[in-house]
Structure 1
């Protein structure tokens, strides 16, 4: 039972056992021939059991969730801002940051809904029940409040999560993310030219904690931060997205990055080769047991590319690993039998029907003598 289904079960746990609830959810999924996912089936079962409004935890709200109802405590309120629409009319917008014990989310109020801010009916530290529509905004998933939506004060003692997220807890399209992590690869700032001719900077940095690692893209002033391998950074108010199968963090002008004195242990989690599954992004470790030939090919844009392959073996099995681009250069100092660690490979179906791991520019590969 995943976290979202388990949360729905908790709302009806006084009426049904967990075994019966799971059985009814599975039955409903089966009867609907795959047209109903477990989360929707769980909601239907809860409704049949007489459950009232199903509340969603903030961490489970996604852009594709449809209308959601959740509760949270107001952490921050923006000023009301006026803007001109394309038809010449004037609109108003304000935003709230609302949190629960699982995370925080931005709630955007449009037009008449902003009266709640002007009148003072919405206040910092107030607990609210919100019904609105999730969408993907510039800083991750946010809630839009307009027609058909509602906000009401509730008498509740909602605890807002104040500790930063662990990297393993980060999912795509989250906003209001804060983490404390160690710099694994500081990267380098690169200058670029915007459409208006002005200059900007961008930098990709790899951060890690005791649950894994994640790339963060730093823009402009953030890209110029003085950070080296081993430094610990506190990153406040960034967002996440999925790109090429990887989850990564993005900064904005509202992001704060500062060095921290916290003790952060970093460790990668490696998947046994026998447990690899198609489509997942994986970390594997083992020994180099084969090296293929280097092949040159021509890309669609006419440039040359390179690919080679190696075999990696651990105590559970062996897998073929494709190395694209300049990754073949890492083999210059690698010998058969040396230790291999691969971070950020993508599991695919190979030509012969066997699984293989594909590594590109986002992958990190290290070779070390057996020890």
Structure 2
């Protein structure tokens, strides 16, 4: 692979493997009647994958590099500093913005010294860069002026100080605890997730997992003493720590949703609707060699029908056509056809909305199959959401809505050996 083509691959290396990228380049050259060279074909492949340019809000992606347009709104000036080896160094920052947010471009030494003579406030630039040490810092590898028009606020946004708040929220999702090491060398665990209230959705960070004791996704809570702050690229973050207290609430908060006909690209939204088409999940290889998944669906809410793309774990969830869902903190972008498209990956969540069903009590066996997790019994099989191990014999009580059982309680049973023998004998005789 040529160096320049490797550079283009770095814009999408979190989506496909290098081998897949090379294959797409060869196909693109063939489709163009061999009139496009390798570099031009690579540019077209990157565009097809939606990564030719991203918005500032989209810089949280996992690719090695990214490319975006932004307007210069502030210049820090050039500052001299002493390095640890005693040499002098220079550093400067350009604050740039688009309609979705602001970030700082950090320049060092010769690059920093050349900024005043090269760029001016209100210039629109094309940036190709990577993340710096801070999540809000971008290390530009290439910067050039463009004629692109960007309409954004020309004032540097002042970051609000974190504040303690009380809220009535709904716990949308909770990840497994992850270990971390404090500055004093002691260890602890943190839990990340998503919470929603009447204001909207917020990223949840819990540094004291004991605060969440007895709390699972789908439970409404009353929270006091949470720390609310602005995320690295905008949006809200809610932090639970040792000063936070929460308890289950009787009623969930009223959560605002956006109609599909009112979607605006480059925004995060919460929507609800019905799944009208479901295609199989497809695996792809990430740059670290791991396998992930993507899945294409269609979502309708009566006002419009739009494409829906699920990534990673959400793509592997068992879903049924006709089911009603709420999709929290999804990202709206312009699809390949020019229409709005909803993308749901890390930081978002999909919840299935139960409709009217029959309240039942089922005694059966939990089975993990390619289609999902089933509770199967002589009376039938239902999709269930459970953490019980494969092969567990259990009783579940809840609402059966079509092929899905929304379990309210679970009871693990010991296997009835006599019943198993009787069932085997009856099965053999039936043959």
TM-score, structure 2 as length reference: 0.41
TM-score, structure 1 as length reference: 0.47
Work out which of the two has the higher radius of gyration on C-alpha atoms and give 1 or 2.
2
